[in-house]
């Protein structure tokens, strides 16, 4: 308890360190999202500095999240020279609220030319400042939003904050209609479960593919994979346990509610989940979790892999983003209530989510798109690339009956009438048995299971917030000014369920039948990043994000370019790494082996003329055949990789070429190398094997 948040300038610290008036003013600023005035900033900065310096801080940084997907920081020390040749520790209000980092090397997707290098970071006072302690010392980190000179968002945080405001605004309109006059804000709440792999650093260091691409580009399957399911929830090995212990301590210090930890399905795979909090803080914290995972692993001679698919043939990693909406007086809007009134409100918010997910399935899908996730979705280990909602039988039944008119029967018996009767209790565990759904209702929240393990959750969450804000705005438009509120609500909900029930699917999402059924229902199946991304720049998408003030058309186009470019760059790095490994390591290794086999034939024959060297001859033939194939597949990959580079003027065409041609050539090259791996003598194989990496922790 003492350690928790010891490194966070949180509410308790602020109350203690700030003069009463300043504390009140700051609270109000945070609560209502008001701009921070200069005088107040000065007072807060002084208190923050004193607190940080007392805890050993020498530097501060505006901590932000550019479109690279990781966090960025530029440290500045507090020192300021005095006339007598000494220094004092200084930190001004101006330095707290605004930074001006040279932004020229962050991706902007054409939003800013290099000569307008200036970017701004601005304190997001809804996320508390914290101290980062590592080998570089103690640094005061101020969570900030990052935008260009002309005010366009260049980061992950800005649209997330804007979407939270949009959702709050529309949800409050609906709440007001239900007679709620006390809530002044609705926040989206998020709890992300993070999956990751750990491998021994000595193996990692010998694998250029892991170093450069984060995933293995070669590797034959070991004799044992995950088929025995003996790793899942298994007892945690001591070495990993020691790592987890330190991880938790580090996270608790910076205020992350690290709560659950366990072995995951794949060998060497694990999960950590914090207790949910507001979307913005959850997103900041998830970045810190990823950062801390890597740092602490390193201290234990381990490497943490956050890639979606580090090992072929073995389950990959995702992030389950648990999401709901809550009023500032603590009411979870997706919690089925106990009174008819609460139930009616619950069904309204539930219907809003259903409508949103069906209307904008393509946006949700593309919010999870990246090169790594393409290996995972639809591969029978993660949901398919088709968006659908799992509600469970009971809720589905209730909605269907809503559709059929006012008074209805419930599956468990009894009558349900909107505004009159209560819902039967929905046991949470009854709704959580289907693990194959990309978007599942789990009792009092939704679990978005498509999200990739390596990316910031800000993207998926700002999309979710915005599309639900749009649904709520539609519902509020219909209901405001209605003569008979309950009758009109009944009508609206009925229409929503009728129109959008195609998105509800409670069956096995991994099955072939579902793919066919979904097609019949007219649901999109956007298999890869390249298929999904063009939906970002449609008129429909731009109209949505502009209406709710989340992204401008310019910002959308820049993000579209950044994601596509990133996709192509990533595959290009993978292709070059493969070529390097195949040409300089695998080919020579195979050649030495086959040469040693060949020379053994003549040595044996020389020694004993009648000896049978049939086996050696067969092996030489087989391996030489594969060697030839290896060379031709290297040549092919080299050729298409060069061709892909030529397409730089058209980012979509280029990304499509990488997916269609380069990835195919990579798979072909891998296939022959993996065959060779199990033929060549172990001591000659140049890389650690799957067996070593996955089973020797």
Footprint of ligand ADP on this chain (CB under 6 A)? 189-191, 193, 260, 273-276, 320, 322-324, 332, 444-445, 447
Q: Which residue is nearest to Mg ion (CB)?
A: 320
Of the pair 447, 561, the CB lying nearest ligand ADP is at 447
Shortest distance, position 382 Cβ to Mg ion, whole Å: 12
431-461 burial, b for 16+ CB within 10 Å, e for fewer? beebebbbbbbbbbbbbbbbbbbbbbbbbbb
Q: If contact means CB under 5 to 8 A according to the sort of partner, which of Mg ion, ligand ADP, none does residue 191 touch?
A: ligand ADP
* Phi, then psi, of 65 in degrees rounded to 5: -125, 80
Q: Which is nearer to ligand ADP, 104 or 444 (CB)?
A: 444
Residue 398 CB, nearest distance to Mg ion (Å)? 23
Task: Name the residue number minimizing CB distance to ligand ADP.
Answer: 191
Nearer to ligand ADP among residue 177 and residue 273 (C-beta): 273
Nearer to ligand ADP, 170 or 188 (CB): 188
Q: How many residues bind Mg ion (CB under 5 A)?
A: 1
Is residue 560 classed exposed, middle or buried when 0-12, 13-18 and 19+ CB atoms within 10 A define those classes?
buried
Query: Binds 324, which of ligand ADP, Mg ion, none (CB < 5 to 8 A, cut-off by type)?
Result: ligand ADP
The whole-angstrom separation of Cα 141 and Cα 139 is 6
* Beta carbons within 10 angstroms of residue 526's beta carbon: 20
**Minimum separation from the CB atom of position 248 to ligand ADP (A):** 15
562 contacts 112 by C-beta, under 8 angstroms = no
Identity of the residue, 153 or 353, whose beta carbon is nearer to ligand ADP in the bound complex: 353
Contacts of 393-397 spanning 24+ positions with Cβ under 8 A: 393/506, 394/424, 394/426, 394/430, 394/431, 395/350, 395/426, 395/431, 395/441, 396/504, 396/506
Closest separation in Å from C-beta 509 to Mg ion:
15
Task: Identify which of residues 260 and 667 has a Cβ nearer to ligand ADP in the complex.
Answer: 260
Task: Identify the residue whose tokens are 């029978």.
Answer: 380
* Cβ closest to ligand ADP, residue 262 vs residue 585: 262
CB of 190 to ligand ADP, least distance (A): 5
Chain residues 298-327 in contact with Mg ion, contact rule CB under 5 A: 320
The count of other CB atoms within 10 Å of the CB of residue 75 is 15
Give residues with Cβ within 8 angstroms of 364, minimum separation 6. Answer: 357, 387, 439, 448, 450, 460, 463, 464, 467
- Closer to ligand ADP by CB, 285 or 659: give it: 285
**CA dist., res. 506 & res. 394, Å (int):** 11
Does residue 460 contact residue 322 with C-beta atoms inside 8 Å? no
For residue 214, the partner it binds in ligand ADP, Mg ion, none, with Cβ less than 5 to 8 A by kind, is none
Tokens of 328: 């500032």
- Alpha-carbon distance of 377 to 451, in angstroms, equals 10
DSSP string for 402-444:
HHT-SSEE-TTSSEE-TTTSPPPP--GGGG----S-SEEE-SS
Gap between the Cα atoms of 186 and 168, Å rounded: 4
Tokens of 674: 């993996």
Question: Based on CB atoms, which residue is closest to ligand ADP, 189 or 490?
Answer: 189
Distance CA(540)–CA(158), nearest Å, equals 21
Considering the complex, state which of residue 191 and residue 316 has its C-beta at the smaller distance from ligand ADP. 191
What distances in angstroms separate CA 690 from CA 21, 197, 267, 674, one per listed residue? 61, 13, 10, 11
- Least distance from C-beta 194 to ligand ADP, angstroms? 10
Nearer to ligand ADP, 189 or 689 (CB): 189
- Both tokens assigned to 624: 């030489």
Q: How far is the CB of 95 from ligand ADP (least distance, A)?
A: 34
Helical spans, DSSP H, in 582-613: 587-607
| Least CB distance to Mg ion at residue 450 (A) | 12
The CB-of-269 to ligand ADP minimum distance in angstroms stands at 14
Residue 199 contacts residue 268 (beta carbons within 8 Å): yes
Q: Which is nearer to ligand ADP, 323 or 349 (CB)?
A: 323
Residue 445 binds which entry of Mg ion, ligand ADP, none, CB below 5-8 Å type-dependent: ligand ADP
Residue 190 contact among ligand ADP, Mg ion, none, beta carbon within 5 to 8 Å by kind: ligand ADP
Task: Tell me which residue has tokens 């003030």.
Answer: 549
In the bound complex, what is the minimum distance in angstroms from residue 330's beta carbon to ligand ADP?
11
CB of 259 to Mg ion, least distance (A): 12
With binding defined as CB under 5 A, does residue 215 bind Mg ion?
A: no
CB 498, CB 351: distance < 8 Å: no
Listed in sequence order, the residues at least 6 apart from 235 whose beta carbon sits closer than 8 Å to its beta carbon are none
CB-count exposure of residue 192 (10 Å: 0-12, 13-18, 19+):
buried
For 289-360, strand residue ranges (E) read 302-305, 319-327
112 binding partner (options ligand ADP, Mg ion, none; Cβ < 5 to 8 Å by kind): none
Task: Indicate the residue among 256 and 564 with the shorter CB distance to ligand ADP.
Answer: 256
Q: Which is nearer to Mg ion, 320 or 494 (CB)?
A: 320
Give the CA distances from residue 97 to residues 3, 44, 61, 93, 147, in Å, rounded to whole numbers and listed in that order. Answer: 28, 10, 11, 6, 13
Return the residues of window 318-377 that contact Mg ion according to CB under 5 A.
320
Partner whose footprint covers residue 286, from ligand ADP, Mg ion, none (CB < 5 to 8 Å by kind)? none
Q: Which does 681 bind (CB under 5 to 8 A by kind): ligand ADP, Mg ion, none?
A: none
Which residues on neighbouring strands pair with residue 272, listed in sequence order? Answer: 194, 261
CB of 320 to Mg ion, least distance (A): 4
Smallest distance, ligand ADP to C-beta of residue 188, A: 8
Q: Which is nearer to Mg ion, 216 or 436 (CB)?
A: 436
**Rounded least distance, CB 440 to Mg ion, Å:** 9
Task: Let me know: does 371 contact 385? Beta carbons within 8 Å.
Answer: no
Q: Can you say whether the dihedral through the CA atoms of 362, 653, 643, 649 is positive or negative?
A: negative
Q: How far is the CB of 48 from ligand ADP (least distance, A)?
A: 29
Residues engaged in binding Mg ion (CB under 5 A): 320
């Amino acid at each position: 308890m003492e350690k928790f948040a010891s490194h966070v300038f949180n509410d308790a610290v602020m109350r203690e360190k700030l003069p009463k008036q300043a504390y009140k003013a700051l609270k109000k600023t945070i609560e209502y999202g008001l701009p921070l005035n200069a005088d107040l900033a000065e007072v807060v900065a002084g208190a923050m500095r004193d607190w940080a310096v007392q805890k050993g801080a020498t530097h501060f940084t505006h901590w932000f999240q550019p479109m690279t997907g990781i966090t960025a920081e530029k440290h500045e020390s507090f020192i300021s020279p005095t006339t007598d040749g000494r220094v004092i520790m200084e930190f001004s209000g101006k330095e707290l609220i605004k930074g001006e980092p040279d932004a020229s090397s962050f991706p902007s997707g054409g939003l800013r030319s290099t000569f307008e290098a200036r970017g701004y970071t601005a304190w997001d006072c809804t996320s508390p400042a914290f101290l980062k302690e590592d080998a570089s010392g103690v640094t005061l980190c101020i969570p900030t939003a990052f935008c260009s000179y002309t005010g366009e968002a260049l980061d992950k945080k800005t649209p997330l904050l804007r979407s939270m405001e949009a959702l709050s605004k529309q949800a409050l309109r609906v709440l007001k209609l239900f007679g709620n006059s006390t809530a002044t804000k609705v926040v989206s709440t998020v709890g992300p479960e993070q999956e990751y792999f750990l491998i021994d650093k000595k193996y990692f260091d010998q694998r250029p593919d892991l170093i450069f691409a984060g995933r293995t580009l070669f590797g034959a399957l070991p004799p044992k994979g995950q088929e025995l399911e003996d790793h899942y929830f298994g007892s945690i090995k001591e070495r990993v346990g020691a790592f987890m212990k330190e991880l938790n301590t580090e996270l608790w210090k910076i205020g992350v509610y690290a709560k659950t930890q366990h072995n995951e399905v794949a060998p060497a795979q694990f999960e950590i989940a914090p207790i949910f909090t507001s979307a913005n803080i959850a997103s900041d914290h998830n970045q810190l979790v990823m950062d801390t995972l890597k740092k602490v692993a390193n201290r234990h001679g381990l490497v943490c892999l956050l890639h979606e698919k580090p090992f072929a043939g073995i389950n990959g990693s995702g992030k389950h983003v648990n999401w709901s909406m809550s009023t500032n007086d603590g009411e979870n809007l997706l919690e089925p209530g106990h009174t008819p009134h609460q139930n009616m409100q619950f069904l309204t918010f539930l219907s809003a989510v259903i409508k949103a997910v069906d209307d904008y399935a393509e946006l949700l899908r593309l919010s999870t798109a990246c090169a790594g996730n393409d290996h995972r979705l639809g591969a029978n280990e993660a949901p398919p690339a088709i968006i659908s909602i799992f509600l469970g039988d009971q809720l589905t039944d209730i909605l269907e009956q809503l559709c059929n008119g006012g008074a209805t029967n419930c599956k468990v018996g009894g009558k349900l009438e909107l505004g009159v009767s209560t819902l039967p209790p929905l046991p949470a565990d009854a709704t959580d048995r289907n693990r194959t759904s990309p978007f599942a209702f789990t009792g009092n929240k939704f679990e978005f299971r498509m999200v990739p393990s390596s990316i910031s959750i800000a993207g998926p969450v700002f999309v979710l917030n915005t599309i639900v804000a749009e649904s709520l705005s539609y519902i509020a438009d219909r209901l405001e000014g209605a003569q008979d509120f309950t009758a009109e609500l009944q009508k609206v909900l009925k229409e929503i369920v009728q129109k959008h029930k195609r998105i509800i699917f409670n069956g096995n999402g991994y099955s072939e039948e579902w793919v066919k059924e979904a097609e019949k229902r007219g649901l999109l199946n956007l298999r890869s990043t390249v298929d999904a991304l063009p939906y970002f720049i449609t008129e429909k998408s731009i109209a949505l994000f502009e209406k709710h003030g989340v992204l401008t058309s310019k910002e959308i186009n820049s993000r579209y370019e950044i994601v596509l470019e990133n996709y192509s760059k990533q595959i290009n790095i993978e292709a070059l790494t493969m070529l390097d490994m195949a040409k300089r390591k695998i080919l020579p290794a195979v050649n030495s082996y086959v040469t040693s086999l060949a020379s053994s034939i003549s040595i044996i024959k020389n020694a004993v003329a009648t000896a049978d060297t049939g086996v050696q001859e067969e092996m030489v033939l087989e391996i030489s055949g594969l060697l030839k194939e290896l060379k031709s597949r290297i040549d092919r990959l080299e050729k298409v990789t060069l061709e892909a580079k030529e397409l730089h003027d058209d980012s979509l065409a280029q990304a499509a070429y990488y997916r269609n041609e380069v990835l195919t050539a990579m798979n072909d090259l891998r296939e022959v190398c993996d065959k060779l791996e199990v033929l060549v003598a172990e001591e000659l194989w140049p890389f650690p094997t799957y067996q070593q990496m996955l089973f020797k922790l």
